[in-house]
Amino acid sequence: MKGNKMLPIEEMGKKDLENIKMLCFDSDGVTVEKGTKFLDSGWTITQDLSPEMGNKMLKLKDKFWINVTSGRNLEFLKKRYELVLGDKFSLQAEIGNIGWYKDGEFRELWSEYELERVEKIRKILEEKLLRMDDFIAFEEKEMIITIHAKNEIELINKTVKENDEKGWLYCWWNGEAYDIGPKRFNKASGLKKMADILGINMDEIMIVGNGINDRDMRNGVGIDVSTDPKSLKADFWTEGEEVGGEKLVDRILKLV
């Protein structure tokens, strides 16, 4: 936080937005309701972006560049945000490892060690987790590993630790799933790369997050907002983790 305490978004004023050029939103729990359900057929069910929220995000593009950052895969995010795709809009998938905007996209280049270790860990866990009651499913990803579970599973942390002697990988539990990938690539590094491509300074960005993989993004940005202030501290906060970002969007639209 840049001040000594978090402020409710109702205290956000026009002056706070004067230098902001990009609004960077987390996806699940910020712009759409959190939650994932896996069917026996293999299909994944999640909440869609509501038409109301989509139209509000379109209005924001009159004033700001809109960036959505998520652990989801890129093709999933393109479908979820189909209404908003186009000019002044970008996506960051798989916790910053993949970036997309209208005129191009990028994928981070992993080292041979990172590639080998993540693949080895994936194979070990695919075999062992099938026999565990708390295991739900692997989410389809291009680069990182995401494992959904009913509760925390110590075997996952243990497997990552035992097979990453250099300590280069993270293993994060977010309350419904584990994410495993290289520490050096995260939402913060992905946001910095996207900002450089677009010619936007980090202090010209407002980020809106709610969890562990959003914490690194706070460093160096102009304003940060939390929709889950118990888990993530920020300059401003709002309640309602399910779609807390919509309350912020309403506030911004009143100010601009």
- Do 91 and 193 lie in a common domain? yes
Looking only at the bridges linking them, the beta strands covering 98-101 and 104-107 are antiparallel
| The pLDDT value given to residue 245 | 85
CA distances 244 to 105, 173, 176, Å, are 28, 21, 18
pLDDT at 244 over 80: no
| The pLDDT value given to residue 95 | 94
- Do 98 and 192 lie in a common domain? yes
Q: Which residues span the domain enclosing 122?
A: 112-182
**Region for residue 49 given its phi and psi (left: phi exceeds 0; alpha: psi -120 to 50; beta: otherwise):** beta
- Do 99 and 145 lie in a common domain? no
Read off the pLDDT of residues 157-179 as tens digits, 9 standing for 90 and up. Answer: 999 999 999 999 999 998 889 99
81 within some domain: yes
Read off the pLDDT of residues 63-80 as tens digits, 9 standing for 90 and up. Answer: 999 999 999 999 999 999
- Do 50 and 175 lie in a common domain? no
Residue located via tokens 């994928």: 107
CATH number at residue 116: 3.30.70
Selected residue with higher pLDDT from 99 and 2: 99
Which two structure tokens, joined as six digits, stand for 179? 């994410």
> For residues 67 and 92, is the Cβ–Cβ distance under 8 A?
yes
pLDDT at 1 over 90: no
What's the mean pLDDT in 142-152? 96
- Helix ranges (DSSP H) in 27-111: 51-60, 74-80
Q: What pLDDT band is residue 16 in, cutting at 50, 70 and 90?
A: very high
Cα 158 to Cα 129: distance, rounded to the nearest angstrom:
13
- Do 88 and 199 lie in a common domain? yes
Considering its fold, how many domains does the chain have in total?
2
CATH number at residue 102: 3.40.50.1000
**Backbone dihedral angles phi then psi of residue 228, each to the nearest 5 degrees:** -140, 75
Read off the pLDDT of residues 105-120 as tens digits, 9 standing for 90 and up. Answer: 999 999 999 999 999 9
> For residues 96 and 190, is the Cβ–Cβ distance under 8 A?
yes
| Residues above pLDDT 90, as percent of the chain | 73
- Do 174 and 195 lie in a common domain? no
pTM: 0.91
Q: Mean pLDDT in the chain?
A: 90
| The pLDDT value given to residue 55 | 96
Read off the pLDDT of residues 123-135 as tens digits, 9 standing for 90 and up. Answer: 999 999 998 999 9
Give CA 13 to chain center in angstroms.
26
